[in-house]
Amino acid sequence: MNAIISASELASAAAGGNPPVLLDIRWQLSMPKADEPPFDGRATYEAGHIPGAVYVDLDRELASAPGARGRHPLPDPADFGAAMRRAGVSSGTPVVVYDGGLGWAAARAWWLLSWTGHPDVRVLDGGLPAWEGPLETSVPTPAEGDFEPAPGATALLDADGAAALARSGVLLDARAGERYRGEVEPIDPVGGHIPGAVSAPTNDNVGADGRFLPVEELQSRFKKMGAAEGAEVGVYCGSGVSAAHQVLALAVAGIPAALYVGSWSEWSSDPSRPVAVGPDPQ
């Protein structure tokens, strides 16, 4: 099954006999300025969303509290399951997730649902900007779902696993190139990358419209990095959000990949972990 769905396909599915549960994951990686309020995903959702969509808060429901395991550690499975059931998610019902267009937050929800065993979850390609149908402002109250998370359905890396994969397989760094090279680091305590990791900015997986590049172009892009079919592939980013989008792009290209959820925010907080800088994986 394709991991993404087009807006026209979603419109058809929503009008069909087994419409998907829709999850709105409006979220933004930002450091608010002193004179600006922080991004409010719920307020953005309430101002207009795809009819029937339920808002899910990435920071509170798709992650646990930040700490030694990174800025967006895995949520407790029981808490995540409860949040998904409140949103109407059931194992026998398809799920479509979307965000404001960047795709990172929706991919985080896609990855978590896939990792915990949901058999049918897809991301709206291009996010809300791709939707040509009506929007609504009313907040639905879905019937309680029955989804019970069973973690482990897809591959997961910890820090040691990521370090090992950088030597034995292909570890992709999904952050912007300047952060990979250590030229700037606006968030985490140290700049640079995991030794052996290959720079693979997530933004290069999509076109100007925010939709994924054609499959053949994605396959060619990843093949140049060594991430071809048959290779053992892993991905990390700053805190396990944009890397989920990279895992999604790899899935679209037919390449399974593991996610290092702790990512650079966990790695860089441990002074015993080595750090490489510059354009070469080292």
Q: Which residues are catalytic?
A: 237
Phi, psi of 236 (to 5 degrees): -140, 170
The rounded distance, in Å, linking the Cα atoms of 147 and 92 is 8
Q: For residues 257-281, b (16+ Cβ closer than 10 Å) or e, as one string?
A: bbbbbbbbbbbbbeeebebbeeeeb
The rounded distance, in Å, linking the Cα atoms of 94 and 25 is 16
Tally: H helices and E strands in the chain: 10, 10
The rounded distance, in Å, linking the Cα atoms of 79 and 91 is 16
Nearest alpha carbon to residue 97 among 57, 127, 75: 127
**Helices assigned H by DSSP within the chain:** 7-14, 41-46, 58-61, 77-86, 104-115, 159-168, 177-180, 215-224, 242-252, 263-267
